[in-house]
Amino acid sequence: MHPNLSDDEIQLLAEIATGVTTDVAARRLELSARTLRRRLRSICDRLGVNTPIEAVVWAARRQLI
């Protein structure tokens, strides 16, 4: 776990990093697409990035995913 991200949030970013759509990622994580998008927005806000891709890069650079 990272101080800025929970294990579930890291898992969400790892799923997005595979290149699947948010709908597919949501199904795999057993979330609604709306919940997944809301969680991504929360992650981006907390990390100070603008897009989910930037959040994925942030996590990858820290070897979280």
What domains can be seen in the chain, in order of their start residue? 7-61 (1.10.10.10)
The CA angle 18-53-39, to the nearest 5 degrees, is 90
CA distances in angstroms from 20 to 3, 12, 27, 46, listed in the order given = 26, 11, 11, 23
Q: Residue 4's pLDDT is what? A: 81
Q: How far apart are CA 45 and CA 32, in angstroms?
A: 20
- Looking at residue 31, its amino acid is L
**Residue owning tokens 């597919």:** 24
Q: How does pLDDT run across 1-58, given as a tens digit for each residue? A: 566 899 999 999 999 999 999 999 999 999 999 999 999 999 999 999 999 999 999 9
Q: How far apart are CA 47 and CA 54, in angstroms?
A: 9
